[in-house]
Amino acid sequence: MKKLLFNLLLISSIISCKKEDTPITPPVEIQVDIPSVDAKIEAFLTKYNIPGASFAVSKNGKMVYAKGYGFADKERNEKVTPAHTFRLASISKTYTGVAIMNLIQEGKIGLEDKVFGDGGILGNDYGTLPLKADLSKITVNHLLHHTSGAWGAGTGGDVIDQNPTFETKQFYDWVINTRPLAKAPNTVYDYTNIGFNLLGRIIEKVSKKSYINYLKENILTNAGGNVELAKKTLEERMPKEVKYYGQGIDATYTYTIAFPRRDADGGLVTSAPDLLRFCNGIDGFSTRPDILDSKTFALFKTPSSLYTDYGCGVGIWDAQKVMFAYGSLPGTRTGAMWGQNGMAVVLILNSRVDFNASNYNAFVYEKQDILLDMIKNSSYQWQNIDQF
């Protein structure tokens, strides 16, 4: 009897210990689909022949909706999920702008620091001496605001994809020597990929880290999430990366872009939820950790006098009280928008309408309207859940 009682007590003790040692699993927050949201996105994809998209929404720092639509790979019948990654195209510039602002916040560079020539951040690293006079007048500020006077569509042409086999040093020697400034710095706004790619070289020189490592180790540690560098060919794409589908002339160039050289201007890859995390890190709210302090954030969103809708790598739409970042490459169209009302939205695609097609502008504006609708339309019943 004593032995039986002892065994029962021992078993009871073991069961009790197991109950105490087992962590309590919190209830899973299950997203409920919103038919009106899904219908809007699905109609857009069908209308413009877009194979797949990833979509994510946050409200007051909580990710309240995340969903994939269509196909990540049509040939394999692989559906898009929120875990799939996409090329970000020019949204990469926003990451670069934030990284430069972080270096300014740390006191390592200044907005008015010269870029080239004696005393410049990049010094005489690129080009054959003596450098042309206007080149030595370019500042960090000019590159951030696309006011360098060179290397845009209206100031000599965008040559970022030319000579794709050139390494960085060889490429920029060629740019500096053969593509002089068409205008003096700070006299014209002209959107340029070269300018932001050069900012990537500044980040590397000042931080003594690769561009991608600086983002991972110094920028995303607060915001969370991840980014990777885009690969050039279909065979090189990452395990969860979508396949890109070019329409019209785009089909020729979808897998010929000069990656990985095009890192800081258009070469990042991430998922919609991770991009949304980044947007929440640069929204000026305390609901999630901010990357920049309030003073530097104000500087980040300050435009130049030459173009008042663009800050330091980010779009400014004061009339709608939103900030935004868009990207476009053959086989890719991306968009992110976040508002002063605490809403943020990301919609990224694995195709775009052919740049030369008659309905290209309609496609661009309709996508923008979707983003703005998700920010401003209070009729959507977002759940009070957090999927971050």
Return d(Cα 259, Cα 230) in angstroms, integer. 6
End-to-end CA distance of the chain: 56
What is the average per-residue pLDDT within 293-305? 98
As beta bridge partners, residue 57 has: 65, 345
As beta bridge partners, residue 339 has: 322
Q: At 327, is the secondary structure helix, strand, or coil?
A: strand
Return d(Cα 338, Cα 174) in angstroms, integer. 39
Cis peptide before 303 (omega within 30 of 0): no
pLDDT for 188-233, tens place per residue?
999 999 999 999 999 999 999 999 999 999 999 989 999 999 999 9
With cut-offs at 50, 70 and 90, classify the pLDDT of residue 155. Answer: very high
Residue with tokens 């500042």: 139
Ordered by start, the domain boundaries in the chain are 35-90+227-376, 98-201
Whose CA is closest to 139, among 148, 150, 131, 130?
148
> Do 185 and 139 contact (CB within 8 A), yes or no?
yes
> Do 65 and 276 contact (CB within 8 A), yes or no?
no
Return d(Cα 202, Cα 199) in angstroms, integer. 5
Q: 296 φ, ψ to 5°?
A: -70, -35
Show the beta-strand stretches assigned E in 3-111: 52-59, 62-73, 78-79, 85-87
Return d(Cα 343, Cα 356) in angstroms, integer. 33
Q: 123 φ, ψ to 5°?
A: 55, -130
With cut-offs at 50, 70 and 90, classify the pLDDT of residue 257. Answer: very high
Q: 332 φ, ψ to 5°?
A: -150, 135
Copy the structure tokens of residue 66. Answer: 């995340």
Mean pLDDT rounded to a whole number for the chain: 93
> Do 212 and 228 contact (CB within 8 A), yes or no?
yes
Counting residues of the chain whose pLDDT is more than 70, the rounded percentage is 93
pLDDT for 73-128, tens place per residue?
999 999 999 999 999 999 999 999 999 999 999 999 999 999 999 999 999 999 99
By the 10 Å C-beta count (0-12 exposed, 13-18 middle, 19+ buried), 46 is classed as exposed
What is the average per-residue pLDDT within 320-337? 98
Return d(Cα 133, Cα 137) in angstroms, integer. 7
Neighbours of 108 (CB within 10 A): 12
Q: Check residue 29 and give its pLDDT.
A: 74
> Domain 35-90+227-376 class?
alpha beta
The model's pTM is 0.92
Copy the structure tokens of residue 76. Answer: 């394999």
Cis peptide before 51 (omega within 30 of 0): no
Q: Check residue 4 and give its pLDDT.
A: 37
By the 10 Å C-beta count (0-12 exposed, 13-18 middle, 19+ buried), 100 is classed as buried
With cut-offs at 50, 70 and 90, classify the pLDDT of residue 27. Answer: low
Q: Check residue 56 and give its pLDDT.
A: 98
